[in-house]
Structure 1
Amino acid sequence: MPIHIASRRRSAASLATAHPGARIIDVTSKGPQPWVRMSPFYPHGHIPVPLSGDAVAQSVEGIWQALKVFGDHDVDTRKLEVVSMTGLKRTVRKYGPVLGHRAGLGGEELLPYEEARRRIFLLLDYTVNGDVTDTTSALSHAALIRLYVTNQWPSA
């Protein structure tokens, strides 16, 4: 059974035309139960923060946003505790250009984007980018789910 990845921004009619008879499963933070649990925003709780000893977070997105470093703003540990699935994003519009992601909460090293994806996030879904090496757009967690269930998971 093929698995297609589509943006949540597409209309139901557009998806039905492109993929007749397909079952549409929304794995974003706006999706229904139980599929919303696939969203990186979902607060599963007790998720180990990579490269950070015993530190844990509520969600994968909380980890990604907490470790993001901007020109004038370093890590933000408050993002690790967010359970509402909102208020997680730390954007370039507000904080300026991203310098990288901290290699752990107390880490000295700043990881470039692709390496951060591999070391922190590889386990975001308004995009369809399933290529970890393509840093021109956000990484699609739905595409990662497809890679996993079709046994095409990228090596770290």
Structure 2
Amino acid sequence: MPIEVASKRRKVTRPDALVVDVTSRGPDPWVRFSPFYPHGQIPVPMSPGATSESVEGVWQALKVFESSDVDPSKLSVRSMKGLKRTVRRFGQVRGHRAGLTGDRLLDYRTARHEIYLPTYRWVLENRLQEEVARLRELAESADVVLLDYTTNGDVDDLRTPLSHAALIVGHLSAAASRQG
């Protein structure tokens, strides 16, 4: 399946490929792949009954800083704006809480595995079935380049943010190997 990830910040030099912007600034329907997109009713890991509008809402809500604990208000943000909680405002990140009322604080790597990956996978499997199928169809007839702001596809490489476009490629590859 010829799908690759490229930085939206750089000029893509693949005139032979179909370029698909899956960032929060991408066109419909591809913007729906953005972690900021408000799909609604996304389960919050380790928080029975709690849901979020977006994947980013979950990630930001469970982030714990030196001067600020979880922020459940991030779960209800539908505008794709005002989601980020920053070090500049709240001090150093201490980790991510294991659920809205959890007593465990997860380090960055563990939080990626226990919060971000399952949340984004849930969206791919429950909210983006049509878009995933469309990408699969496109990739069967042409090379596809997914644009993202980051290109890090290694969940254990903590030096740079994780690319959700790389997670899409992984999801499509895993589905293809299960089928074939």
Query: What TM-score, normalized to structure 2?
Result: 0.79
Q: Which residue of 2 aligns with 1:5?
A: 5
Unpaired segments ≥5 residues, structure 1: none
Q: Deviations over 1:70-121 (max 9, x none)?
A: 0110000110000000100011122111110000000000000011001100
Moved over 2 A (4+): none
Q: Which residue of 2 aligns with 1:120?
A: 115
Instruction: Provide the secondary structure at the position in 2 that maps to 1:151.
Output: helix
Post-superposition offset of 1:47: 0.5
Instruction: Provide the secondary structure at the position in 2 that maps to 1:5.
Output: strand
Q: Deviations over 1:45-68 (max 9, x none)?
A: 001110001001100100000000
Identity of matched residues, %: 62
Q: Which residue of 1 aligns with 2:98?
A: 103
CA distance in 2, matches of 1:99, 1:6: 31
Q: Which residue of 2 aligns with 1:145?
A: 168
1:65-80 matches, cutoff 5 A: 65-80=60-75
CA distance in 2, matches of 1:6, 1:91: 26
Select the structure that is richer in helix.
Answer: 2
Bigger RCO of structures 1 and 2 (CA < 8 A, at least 6 apart): 2
Aligned residues: 147
CA distance in 2, matches of 1:78, 1:110: 19
RMSD: 1.4
CA distance in 2, matches of 1:3, 1:73: 40
CA distance in 2, matches of 1:6, 1:62: 25
Residue 41 of structure 1 aligns to which amino acid in structure 2?
Answer: F
Select the structure that is richer in strand.
Answer: 2
Query: What TM-score, normalized to structure 1?
Result: 0.90
| 1:54 has 2:77 as partner | no
CA distance in 1, matches of 2:109, 2:91: 19
Post-superposition offset of 1:23: 0.7
CA distance in 1, matches of 2:160, 2:91: 17
Q: Which residue of 1 aligns with 2:153?
A: 130
CA distance in 1, matches of 2:73, 2:111: 20
